[in-house]
Every structure is written in structure tokens, then in C-alpha cells.
């Protein structure tokens, strides 16, 4: 997880458990291929409370490593 993602997560009063829940139970909303740094995946799911919408943007760095670039409250 990038420093930017940690800062955005804190700003939106989310924690790592919210991000984990959103990634594990969420859906791939879109794939963005227009970033020169690489393809980004946007996942939208619910936080740990099963009510808070959470957006997670990340990149597959390797086949096994997903780097979370930013996190936001998606309401």
C-alpha cells in the first residue's frame, strides 16, 4: 500500500480492515489502461461494517502482488 493510499484511507476515516473487506468481497468496477505508469484496477466493495462503500485502486505489480495506490469512501 502506498503512502498516498494510507493518507487517503485515514482522511476518509477508513482502516485497513475496511480496505481488506472491500477487496475480498467487492467487484472489479473497471480497468484503466490510460495511465503511463501501468494499468490500474478499480475495485468497489463494502467496508468491514457491510455498509460503507469503499473504492480501491491498485496495480498488479507481479502475478502475486497487488499494490494499492489509493483508497476512498465511494459514496
Q: How far apart are the first and last CA of the chain?
A: 22
Q: Are 24 and 44 in contact (CB under 8 A)?
A: no
Total domain count, the chain: 1
Q: Is 31 exposed, middle or buried, given 0-12, 13-18 or 19+ CB atoms closer than 10 A?
A: exposed
Q: Looking at residue 37, what DSSP letter applies?
A: T
Could you list the residue range(s) of the whole structural domain that residue 65 is in?
3-73
pLDDT at residue 20 in the model: 97
Residue 73, C-beta contacts closer than 8 angstroms, at least 6 positions apart:
12, 13, 14, 52, 53, 54, 55
pLDDT at residue 19 in the model: 98
| 14-72 pLDDT, tens digit each | 999 999 999 999 999 999 999 898 899 999 999 999 999 999 999 999 999 999 999 99
When pLDDT is cut at 50, 70 and 90, the band that residue 10 belongs to is: very high
Amino acid at each position: 500500500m502506498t503512502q498516498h493510499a494510507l493518507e487517503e484511507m485515514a482522511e476518509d476515516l477508513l482502516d485497513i480492515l475496511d480496505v481488506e473487506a472491500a477487496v475480498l468481497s467487492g467487484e472489479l468496477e473497471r480497468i484503466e489502461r490510460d495511465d503511463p505508469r501501468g494499468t490500474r484496477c478499480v475495485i468497489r466493495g463494502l467496508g468491514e461494517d457491510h455498509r460503507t462503500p469503499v473504492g480501491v485502486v491498485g496495480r498488479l505489480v507481479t502475478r502475486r502482488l497487488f499494490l494499492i495506490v489509493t483508497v476512498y469512501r465511494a459514496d
